[in-house]
Amino acid sequence: MASAGIVNIRRDVDDKFYRYRMPLLTTKIEGKGNGIKTVIPNMSDVARALSRPPTYTTKFFGCELGAQTSFDERNDRYIVNGAHDANRLRELLDIFIDKFVLCKACKNPETELVILKVGRSEDIIRDCKACGERTGVDMRHKLTTFIVKNPPVKSKKSKKGGAGGGAADGVGGNGVSPVHNGGEHAEGEGTPDGAESDDELSRRIKAEAAELNDDAALAKEDWSADTSPEAVRARQALEAGVASLVLGGADDDASDEDVNSPYSQLGRWIGENKDDDTKAFSIAVYKKAGELGIEKKHKTVFVVVQALFDADIVAQIPKYTALLAKMVTSEKHQKALLGGVERLVGISHPEMIANAGVPKILMALYQADVLDEEVITQWGTHVSKKYVDKDTSKRVRKASEPFLKWLEEADDDEEDE
């Protein structure tokens, strides 16, 4: 039916002016008998429109059809063994797009796959450039194993920080270059363009990881701020050219809030250096704060919360409990912690208020033992414009009511006993 041409990435969207388009996938049957196979001549064009390596889509077809796949990236050949109907593959591509491309929150295709290490396993996240949400993919799907083994190559300017721009410019190779070495059934090895920059990037990551691993020897209790000059230099180098983190304009003592203030520097540094090894990274953050001379300041907590956490804060808090416990040392610090949460949910991720995220965040912090009941109650019943504007402050407090109520009831129960 559909002739070759251009289609909407979301084929369920019947809108001629839909921005996100891709070539219609085409197929060609080659060989016969046992050797019959389906070649996808425009696989790499389609994949490029999706900002995914063509190996992912091909492998996905293989997973879904229970068929062997092979890729020869140099010659741009992507093959699924057996004879498969083009329409069937297009339907599967729709499923791939739904599972591995579209943001789960806003259904926009401008996402980047990010692999996060969680303990000994990995999580694959769709990082949405359109709405900023990070949504996970179904890790039970077989393709996830392949993705973890052949991680997407990050484009250089895909760093977080939300400094506008960042969003993919529609169709283009942004965010992804071909996966090297096509995986187990590769027909040959390609030397994709951009190999050089990939090498450079991985060298940087390796160097930094080695450094953090040295630090990880202190995984126990070494939170001291002394770092070797090399380590400091390496980190400073990484700091160059980072997007700036906008800090609390509503803060009363914002006088020192220029981009060079130690707080801004720390915020940027965290945004730029975020590492999946949350344990080592916690230590690195604390050391960085120490280098800047602000590891004991309450305002540091305010900055760390905003720089470290995103819409996944509820899941992230347990990973950073030790760091929070180390930094939140007084009532004032607890209030700064709540201030950071207020800004995060009130300004950066207002959807969390609608999604009942605030009580969950408070619960996670309460369970992490970094917030006292009295402080939360006091905070929850007093609107303040120290960290955000008054309206936002009100909205966040309103959203926190279920948790405050729970606290109160838990209290009553104790008294009853």
Instruction: Name the minimum Å distance from CB 135 to Zn ion.
Output: 8
Q: Is 105 near Zn ion (CB under 5 A)? A: yes
Segment 223 to 282, residues that bind Zn ion, using CB under 5 A: none
Which of 130, 315 has the CB closer to Zn ion?
A: 130
Instruction: Name the minimum Å distance from CB 133 to Zn ion.
Output: 5
Name beta bridge partners: 38. 29, 80
At how many degrees (to 10) do helices 229-239 and 195-216 cross?
Answer: 140
* Nearest C-alpha neighbor of 174 from the set 82, 57, 48, 321: 48
Stretch that binds Zn ion, among 132-140, 160-168, 172-180, 274-282 (CB under 5 A): 132-140
Stretch that binds Zn ion, among 40-48, 98-106, 246-254, 341-349 (CB under 5 A): 98-106
Instruction: Name the minimum Å distance from CB 395 to Zn ion.
Output: 22
Stretch that binds Zn ion, among 12-20, 121-129, 195-203, 229-237 (CB under 5 A): 121-129
Which amino acid is it at 204? R
Distance between start and end Cα atoms, the chain: 72
Which of 19, 203 has the CB closer to Zn ion?
A: 19
Stretch that binds Zn ion, among 104-112, 237-245, 260-268, 317-325 (CB under 5 A): 104-112
Give the number of residues written for the chain.
417
Stretch that binds Zn ion, among 101-109, 165-173, 354-362, 371-379 (CB under 5 A): 101-109
Q: 69 near 61, Cβ under 8 Å?
A: yes
Q: Is 114 near Zn ion (CB under 5 A)? A: no
Gyration radius from the chain CA atoms: 24
Q: 338 near 381, Cβ under 8 Å?
A: no
Please select the residue that binds Zn ion; options are 128, 307, 308, 375, rule is CB under 5 A: 128
The burial of 378, by beta-carbon neighbours within 10 Å (0-12 exposed, 13-18 middle, 19 or more buried), is given as middle
Work out the angle at residue 96's Cα, subtended by the Cα atoms of residues 94 and 100, and round it to the nearest 5 degrees. 130
Instruction: Name the minimum Å distance from CB 111 to Zn ion.
Output: 7
Q: Is 112 near Zn ion (CB under 5 A)? A: no
Q: Is 103 near Zn ion (CB under 5 A)? A: yes
Which of 134, 397 has the CB closer to Zn ion?
A: 134
Binding residue count for Zn ion, defined by CB under 5 A:
8
Q: 253 near 264, Cβ under 8 Å?
A: no
Neighbours of 406 (CB within 10 A): 14
Q: Is 106 near Zn ion (CB under 5 A)? A: yes
* Nearest C-alpha neighbor of 63 from the set 24, 25, 93, 31: 93
Stretch that binds Zn ion, among 129-137, 149-157, 216-224, 272-280 (CB under 5 A): 129-137
Instruction: Name the minimum Å distance from CB 359 to Zn ion.
Output: 23
| Separation of CA 147 from chain center | 15
The pattern of x and - marking residues 39 through 58 that bind Zn ion according to CB under 5 A reads --------------------
Residue 176 to residue 155: CA distance in whole angstroms: 6
Grouping H, G, I as helix, E, B as strand and the rest as coil, residue 22 is strand
Which of 10, 287 has the CB closer to Zn ion?
A: 10
Given the DSSP bridges, would you call strands 28-30 and 6-8 parallel, antiparallel or unpaired? unpaired
Summarize as ranges the residues that interact with Zn ion (CB under 5 A): 103, 105-106, 108, 128, 130-131, 133
